[in-house]
Chains A and B, each alone.
Chain A
Amino acid sequence: MKTFTPSRLFLAIAFVALAGCNNSDTKITELPVAEDPGHGHDHHAELPVGRLAISEADQPVVHIFDLESNQLIETVTLTNPASALYASPDNRFAVAVQRNEDTVEFIDGGLWQELHGDHYDQHKDEPSLTSFSLTDAKPTHYVPRGDKAAVFFDGNKDTDTVAGLAVLDDESIATNKVIAEHHFDTYMHGTAEIRGDYVLTTLRDPSSESTLPEQITLLEMHGDHFHQEQVFDVMCPALHGSYQTEDYIAFACGDGIVSIKQDGNLFSAQKLTNPTTMPEGVRIGSLKGSEESNVLIGLSRGGVFLVDLEENQITPFEWQPEPDINYLSYGFDGHHEHMAMLDNTGKLNLYAAEDNWQLSARIDVFDSIEADAKPLIIASKAHEHLYVIHEHHVMTVNLETQEVTESIHLDFDAGKAAWLGIKGEHEHDH
C-alpha cells in the first residue's frame, strides 16, 4: 500500500489555522493625484497624434500611416477603389465609399478609447478591414454630426432602386450594425442632417425629371427605424448641400437657401432667396461652416458666399487675400473653428469662424502649385494640425506655430484621405 505523507501535514495546517486566527486588516494607500493611478490612464491622458488613411488613386487599397513615426503601418485591400474616404464620427474607422459598386466598407484604424468608470482606456491596435459593410445603391453623401453619421444612398434611376439612409456611430460600426435605416419611395441625390433623435432629409417627387430632391422632411428615430413627422411646405428645388449650426439647419436650393429653426420638437422653415446680385445660372451647391457660427459658407461655381441665417442675407464672401487668387481646395480644422483654403500660390489661408470668417492667417505650404491641382486638406481632431496632401507629399501644418513640414513622402498617387485617431475634448461640445 502506498503511503500518503501529506495527510499529516494537512492536519497540522488545519489545527494551526484553526487555532485562533481571527482578525481583519485594512490597508489604504492614497495615490498621488498627478500620477497615473495604476491603470495607465486618466482623464487627461495625452492623445496620440493619430493615423492617416490615404487611398491610392483608382486602386482598391488604403494605406495607413502612423503620424507619430510617419511610417506606413498597414495597407488594407478594399473590394473596389474608394470613391471617397471619410472618418467615422469618433474617428476610429475609415469609411470607404465605393459609389459605383453600391458598397461602403469600414477600416478599423486601431486607435480608439473606451469609457472605463471615470476615465477612458486608450486602445492602440493594428489597423484592419472590418467585416462590416453597407450595400445599397450608390452611397454618396456622408454627413457626420456629433457622435453619429448619416450615409445617404442615392438609389438608382436605371434599375429603379429607391434611395436610402443609414445612421451609424462608431459603436454600431464596431458591432457590425447600423443604428437605424430608412428607405424612400424613389431615387434621389439627397442628403441628411442628424439632429439628436431627428433627421432632416430630402424628398423627391417621383414624377420629377431631375434626380435632385425638392422638398425637406423631418424624420424621428424610433429604435432601428424612422417615423416621418413633418414635410416642410417651403420648397427647395434642385436641393444640393446642407449644413447645421447650433441654431439652424440649412439646405441649399437652386433658388436660395431653406433655413430651418428648431424649438423643442417644433421645426419651422423659411426661405432666403438668392440675391439679385447673384449672377444668372449661379447657385450655392455646397454649404459649410461651424456649429458656433450662424454664418455659413456657401460655395458655388460663381464664387463663395456668406449665408447669414440670423440676418437672412446672402452676400459675396471677400475671401481673396490679394487680387487674382483662386482657391484649389478647402477644409476645416479639427473643431471647425477655422476654414482653410489652399490657393493657387501654394498658401493656406485661414478664416476664423468667430470673427465672421475674416482672414486670420496665411501660411506658406508650397512654393508653387499647378493651377489645376486638387490637394487634400485633412484635419487632426486631436491636435492643432492640418495635413495637406498633394502629389506625393504629405505636409503637416501646425496651426499653433504655423510651421510646415513634409512629414511623409508617398510612393503612390493619393486618392482620398481621412484622419483617424482619438479626438480631443472640443468635439464633445455638441
Chain B
Amino acid sequence: MNKPSLIALLVSSALFSTAAMAQQISGKVLDSQGQPIINATVKIIGQNNQVTTNQSGVFIVNIDDKGGELHIFAPSFVHKNVMVSAANNGDLEVKLEKAAIEIIDVVASPFHNSNIESAMPATVLSGDNLRMSQTSTLGDTLKNEIGVHSNFHGGVASTPIIRGLDGPRVLIAQNGLDAGDASRVGPDHSVSAEATTSERIEVLRGPATLFYGSGAIGGVVNVVDDRVPTSLETKGEWLIQQDSVNDKTQVAGSVNHSVENIVLHLDGFWRDADNYEVPSEHGIDEIDSSQHESSGYTIGTSYLLDQGYVGVSYQELSQKYGIPGHSHGDEEVPVIADMSQNRLQLLSEYQFNHYFFNSMRNKVAFTDYQHQELELGHVGTTFDNETLEARIELLHNPLAQWRGGLSLHYKESDFAAIGLEAFTPASITRSSALALVEERHFGNVLVQLGARAEHTEINADLVQLPNVTLYDRQGHEQHNELHYDMRHFNVSHTFKPVSFSGGLVWDFTPGYNFAVSVSRAQRAPSSSELLSFGPHIGTNTYEVGALFKNYLNSDDEAYIGLTDQDIVMETSNNLDLSIRKYQGDFGFIFNVFYNQIDDYYYQQAIGLSASDGHDHHDHGHDEHGHDEHDDHGHGNHSDHVGHTLPLYMFVTTDAKLYGAEFQVNWRINDNFNAKLQGDTIRARANGNSELPRTPPTRLAGELSYEHTHYRADLKLSHYFEQTNLAQFETKTDSYSILDIHFNYFVDIANHSVALYLKGENLTDEYAKVHTSFLKDLTPLPGRNFAVGIRGQF
C-alpha cells in the first residue's frame, strides 16, 4: 500500500479553493393540494448544507451565481430535483406528490439515488422500521426485507442471504467499506457491523462489483451510522429492550454534539441473552449454546467545512456467543466464539470549483479483527483478519449533461486461520481498482453506465498439501502410495476482473417508472475458496480448495494433488427489470431478475472422507454440510477409520439464478396502511441440478394503524415448503409467522419517546429454516414478547 500517495490525495482535497459568489434564493414546498409541507428538506446537490421548510413551507438557500440543483424531499412524499438560478428567487414553488412507497436515498451507490430512482433494486431499512426490526444479528435484522433471507445460525451468527447468494458473494460494508470480519468464510462467524447503533441499513440486490469489487457480485449490505458526523446537528438516540424468549436485555445509545465546526459522536451498546426457547419437540424446548453477549462503542469526530467535512472514528466491538450444534459424541461440549474488532475510519468529502472535477470523497478504514473458537476454555481456532481499505471518488462537473466520476479503490486483507480449524492458510489479498460511473437524463429516461477494472492478488507463502488418508463411501482406505507427508507451496494468484453495467430508468408516465439493469460482473475467487485444506468444524466438512483436485492412481485409489485446471474467475451476466408505481395512495414495485453465472465456485461432495485430525473426538453434528447438504451419515464407517469428515472440493460449474420479487403498498386512509410483498427464487447448477440452501418462496402481509400517539403493525409471513433440493438435501416444511408491533409515542420536552411492545411468532410455530446450515438443530425461536422504550432528541 502506497500510503504517502494516498495521504497526499486526501490532503490535496483540502487545497482546492472556492471562489464563487453566493446568491440567496427562497422558495416554497407544497403538496399536490397546494398545502405547505412543513419540515421538508432542501439540499443543494454538491454542497454540504441543507435547510428545512418552515410552518409555511418556505425555505431559503444560498446558491452560487451559476445556479444549482436542489434535491427536495419529505417523508411520505416523492423526492424531486429542480434546477434553480438567481432568476427563480421568490417565485419558486416545488410541488411534491404523495408517495405510495416510502422513498429513501441510498448512499451505498455513488449516484444520488433512492430506492425508487435506481436502475438496480435497493432497499433501505431506517428509522422506526429499523429499530423495530433490529435483532442481535444482521441476518435476522434484514430477514423480512424483499429478496433477503437469513442463514439463521441459531440466532448468534446469522448473516444475510441476498437472492440466494451469501458468503464471498455478498459484501457486508460499514459506512461503505468492508466490515473486515470473518463472516464471509464461515456461517458460524458473526458479522461485525452493528445494527443497534446504525442509522440505516441499505441492501443492494444484484451485482454491485462496480462500486465494491469482487466480494459484491451478489449484492451489498451497507450498515450506515453517524460515527463521522456530516452535520452540526446535536442529536441523540437511546433504547432499552427486554425480550422473553431468550431473556435478552439490550441497551444502546448514541449522541452527536457540536462545538463550533467540530462535531463529536459517541455511541455504545450492550446486549446479553441466554439460550432461546423453541416450541417443544422431541423433548427439546431450548437451544443449547445459543447464548450471546456483545458490547461495543464508537467515538468519532469531524470538522465541518463550508464545502465538506473531514472526520475520523474509532470503534471497539466484542462479541461472545455460543455456537450451537457442536457436540462431541454423547457429550455436549460447549463451543464459544469470542470475537473482537477495532476499527479506525476516516471519511471526508469536499466540494470545490475546478474546471473538470467538482468534488472528492475519501473513505479509509483499518480494521483489526480476531475471532477465536474456544472449547472447554481452550482456543481451538483463531481467525485473524487485518483489513486496510481506501476509496477515493472524484466527481466531475456535468460533461455534455453526463454526471459521474471516477472511483479509485484499494483493499488489502491479511487473513489467517490458526489452530484446529486451520483450513485456510495465511494469505494476503490485495486489490486495486479503477471505476467510472456516469449518468444522464435523456428527457424522461435516466441512463446509468459504469465500468470497473480491478487487479487482485492473493499471495500465500505456505500452502499445504498434506498426504491425507482418504476413505471411500464404504470406509475403504485409499492406498495412494505417495511418498511424502506434506508438500508446501508458495502460491500467488493474479486476477483482473472487469465489470460493466448499464441501466435505464424510464419515467414513462407520471408516478411510474420502468427500470432495466444489465451487467456483466467478474469476481476473483477468495483465498478460502482456493487454498483451503483441512477440517472445518463450523460446517462439519473437510474442505479442499480449487487449487487442488482429486485423482485416481493406476490402482484406482484416490489421492489429492494440485489441480491441472486453470484457476478462473467467476463471471456473471445479469438482467434485472423493475416496474414501479410510487405516487398516490397505491404503489407497487415488481422485479424480475436473471443471473447466468459462469464458473460459479461451489463445494461438491466427491464421495470421499478424510480424517478430521483428532480421532478421539466424535463430532456428532447433525447439521447439513456446506454448499451441498450432507445428510448421508458420513459417520457410518467411522468405527474402522477413526473420525472422518466428508470431503468437499471447491469446483466450478455454470449456474443460473432467477426469480421475482414484488411489493404492493396501499394507503387505505390516513390511519390504515396495507402492504403485501413476496419473493421467489430458483437456483440451478449446470445440468439442472439445484443449488443448496435456496430460500423458499415467501409471501408477507402487513397491516398498520397509525394515530397521533399510536402505531400498531400486524404482520403475517408465510414461507412455502422448499422442495427444490440439492443432492443430499432434505425438504423443508412451510411455516407461518405472526408478529405484532405496538408503539406509543409521547413527546417530553423536545424528546420523542416511544414505548413499544413486540410480539413475535405469536402462534409459537415450530419452523425450520431451509437456508440455515443448522436447519435440523436450530429451529426459529418460539413465541417472544419484547418490551422496550426508546427516545431521540
Binding site for B on A (CB under 8 A): 1-4, 7, 10-11, 13-14, 17-18, 20-31, 33, 37-39, 115-118, 171, 179, 223
Q: With A24-B495, A24-B568 in contact, do A1 and B354 touch (Cβ < 8 Å)?
A: yes
Chain A residues positioned under 8 Å from B567 (CB to CB)? 24, 26
Tell whether, in the assembled complex, residue B490 and residue A31 are in contact, meaning their CB atoms are under 8 Å apart: yes
Chain B residues positioned under 8 Å from A14 (CB to CB)? 406, 434, 436, 453
- Tell me the bound Cα distance from A35 to B678 in angstroms: 59
- Tell me the bound Cα distance from A2 to B13 in angstroms: 12
Q: With A31-B488, A37-B462, A117-B422 in contact, do A7 and B493 touch (Cβ < 8 Å)?
A: no
- Tell me the bound Cα distance from A37 to B353 in angstroms: 55
Chain B residues positioned under 8 Å from A22 (CB to CB)? 496-498, 522
- Tell me the bound Cα distance from A11 to B524 in angstroms: 24
Tell whether, in the assembled complex, residue A29 and residue B490 are in contact, meaning their CB atoms are under 8 Å apart: yes
Chain A residues positioned under 8 Å from B418 (CB to CB)? 115-117
Tell whether, in the assembled complex, residue A28 and residue B568 are in contact, meaning their CB atoms are under 8 Å apart: no
Apart from A4-B356, A115-B418: 15 A-B pairs, beta carbons within 8 A: A1-B353, A13-B434, A18-B434, A18-B453, A24-B493, A24-B495, A24-B566, A26-B492, A26-B566, A28-B491, A30-B488, A31-B462, A38-B461, A117-B422, A179-B377
Tell whether, in the assembled complex, residue B377 and residue A24 are in contact, meaning their CB atoms are under 8 Å apart: no
- Tell me the bound Cα distance from A26 to B17 in angstroms: 47
Chain A residues positioned under 8 Å from B495 (CB to CB)? 23-25
A selection of 22 A-B contacts at a CB cut-off of 8 Å is A1-B19, A2-B17, A3-B354, A3-B355, A4-B357, A7-B357, A7-B396, A10-B406, A18-B436, A18-B451, A21-B455, A22-B497, A24-B566, A26-B566, A28-B489, A28-B491, A31-B462, A31-B490, A33-B488, A38-B490, A117-B418, A117-B464
- Tell me the bound Cα distance from A22 to B498 in angstroms: 6
Interface residue from A4, A27, A37, A118 paired with B354 (Cβ < 8 Å): A4
Tell whether, in the assembled complex, residue A7 and residue B356 are in contact, meaning their CB atoms are under 8 Å apart: yes
- Most chain A CB within a 10 A radius of its CB, from B461, B484, B524: B461
- Tell me the bound Cα distance from A171 to B379 in angstroms: 10
- With an 8 A cutoff between CB atoms, is B23 at the interface? no
- Most chain A CB within a 10 A radius of its CB, from B15, B353, B377: B377
- With an 8 A cutoff between CB atoms, is B11 at the interface? no
Tell whether, in the assembled complex, residue B484 and residue A33 are in contact, meaning their CB atoms are under 8 Å apart: yes
In chain A, what residue has the closest Cβ to B354? A4
In chain B, what residue has the closest Cβ to A29? B490
- Tell me the bound Cα distance from A260 to B529 in angstroms: 53
- Tell me the bound Cα distance from A30 to B461 in angstroms: 10
Chain A residues positioned under 8 Å from B81 (CB to CB)? none
- With an 8 A cutoff between CB atoms, is B36 at the interface? no
Encode contact with A along B354-375: 1 for CB under 8 Å, 0 otherwise.
1111000000000000000000
- Tell me the bound Cα distance from A171 to B419 in angstroms: 15
- With an 8 A cutoff between CB atoms, is B487 at the interface? yes
Interface residue from A116, A118, A223 paired with B464 (Cβ < 8 Å): A118
Tell whether, in the assembled complex, residue A7 and residue B394 are in contact, meaning their CB atoms are under 8 Å apart: yes
- With an 8 A cutoff between CB atoms, is B551 at the interface? no
- With an 8 A cutoff between CB atoms, is B779 at the interface? no
Tell whether, in the assembled complex, residue B461 and residue A39 are in contact, meaning their CB atoms are under 8 Å apart: yes
- With an 8 A cutoff between CB atoms, is B562 at the interface? yes
- With an 8 A cutoff between CB atoms, is B494 at the interface? yes
In chain B, what residue has the closest Cβ to A30? B489
In chain A, what residue has the closest Cβ to B19? A1
Chain A residues positioned under 8 Å from B569 (CB to CB)? 24
Encode contact with A along B404-426: 1 for CB under 8 Å, 0 otherwise.
00101000000000110010011
Interface pairs A-B: 4 shortest CB-CB: A17-B453, A31-B488, A29-B490, A25-B494
- Tell me the bound Cα distance from A23 to B357 in angstroms: 32
Encode contact with A along B470-494: 1 for CB under 8 Å, 0 otherwise.
0000000000000010111111111
In chain A, what residue has the closest Cβ to B432? A17
Tell whether, in the assembled complex, residue B490 and residue A28 are in contact, meaning their CB atoms are under 8 Å apart: yes
Chain A residues positioned under 8 Å from B396 (CB to CB)? 7
- With an 8 A cutoff between CB atoms, is B793 at the interface? no
- Tell me the bound Cα distance from A117 to B453 in angstroms: 35
